[in-house]
Amino acid sequence: MRTYLIGAMVLGLIAAPGLMAQNEGEGGEDKANEEKRPDRREDRPHDKKRRDDEKRPEGDKPSDGKERPDIDRDRKERVAKVFKHLDANNDGKLDRVELKDYPALLRALAEDKEGGVTLLEFAKALAELHKHNKEHGEEADKCIDELHGRLEAKRAEEEEKAKSPEEAAKDRGEEAREKNRQDAKDHREKRLNGENDDEAKKREAEEEERERERLRHAKHLKEHAKKHNK
């Protein structure tokens, strides 16, 4: 029995180095295979999106399609109003205008007092400025304010032309009466501040005469319109 145990121990000592070397070799192969094996996490969509977003410059549009937080909302809304005014086909489309054409279009807008085609071309260029050239925002803001002023003036002119002679005369009469009320108020304040009463009375008499002349003119227009309608 003792001989058997001694023999087993000897065999164990002889075999141990070989087994250790084999285990080390298998471990090395496993490590090499692990290095070669691709990281499965890289293939997951949300990990790819995260890596893409990390590579993007700060302030750029993320890959999930959300808007940048630093966009000037007010400017975008005003550009939308320009499109609403000038999108004749109501299809939400305007032809692209290159940035290099912008100065010439702006000059055309300044020279063309009637608006028309140049106004439309200007709006196209302006929209492109806001969409593709954010660094020109301050200049575009000034121009879009000018454009809205032109559009509002044109709209008011068209509304005035569409009025009947009676409506126009009535509006002019209302404006004249409001002006007279304001002038009378100013004169009273001046008298309280020591203005010469004779000069104030003279001015009031002149304004009353002008008001009577306006009323006579309005009456004449009304009578003329009645004759024309007959």
Position 202 confidence tier, pLDDT thresholds 50, 70, 90: confident
**Boundary (domain end) residue, out of 121, 140, 161:** 161
56 in any annotated domain: no
Q: What mean pLDDT do residues 161-184 have?
A: 75
pLDDT of residue 95: 46
Does the structure show a pLDDT above 70 at 157? yes
pLDDT at 54 over 60: no
The verdict on 152 and 168 lying in the same domain is no
Task: Report, as an integer, the average pLDDT of 24-39.
Answer: 51
Q: pLDDT (tens digit, 9 = 90+) per residue, 115-126?
A: 444 555 566 656
Domain for residue 33, yes or no? Answer: no
Q: Do 151 and 205 fall within a single domain? A: no
Q: From the CB of residue 168, how many other CB atoms can be counted at a distance below 10 Å? A: 16
Do residues 168 and 180 share a domain?
Answer: yes
**What residues contact 164, with CB distance under 8 A and at least 6 apart?**
225
Domain count, the chain: 2
Helices marked H in 44-116: 45-55, 73-86, 102-111
Average pLDDT, integer, range 205-210: 81
More confident residue, 225 or 61: 225
Residue 197 falls inside a structural domain:
yes
Residue 208 domain flag: yes
In a domain, 3, yes or no: no
Same domain? For 141 and 168 the reply is no
In order of 79, 121, 135, the CA distances from 94 in angstroms are 12, 9, 21
204: confidence class by pLDDT, cuts 50, 70, 90: confident
Q: Are residues 79 and 150 in the same domain?
A: yes
Distance, in Å, from the CA atom of 211 to the CA atom of 206, rounded to the nearest integer, reads 9
Domain that holds residue 107: 73-161
Q: Quick one: 127 and 91 in the same domain? A: yes
Alpha-carbon distance 32 to 41, whole Å? 19
Q: Are residues 90 and 154 in the same domain?
A: yes
Please tell me the distance from the alpha carbon of residue 203 to that of residue 186, in angstroms, as a whole number. Answer: 12
Residues 92, 131: one domain?
Answer: yes
Ramachandran class of 194: left when φ > 0, alpha when ψ lies in -120 to 50, beta otherwise: left
Q: Are residues 171 and 135 in the same domain?
A: no
Higher pLDDT, 174 or 28: 174
Residue 145 lies in a domain: yes
Residue finishing a domain among 137, 161, 185: 161
Residues 77, 137, single domain; the answer is yes
154 and 214 fall within a common domain: no
Neighbouring residues of 112: CB distance < 8 A, sequence distance ≥ 6: 118, 119
Domain annotation covers residue 137: yes
Instruction: Classify residue 54: in a domain, yes or no.
Output: no
Cα angle at 14 between 13 and 20, to 5 degrees? 80
Which of 123, 142, 161 represents a domain boundary (last residue)?
A: 161
Average pLDDT over every residue of 189-199: 64
Which pLDDT tens digit goes with each residue over 75-93? 555 555 555 554 555 655 5
Read off the amino acid at residue 169.
Answer: A
- Predicted model pTM: 0.26
Q: Which residue has the higher pLDDT, 168 or 114?
A: 168
| 142 and 198 together in one domain | no
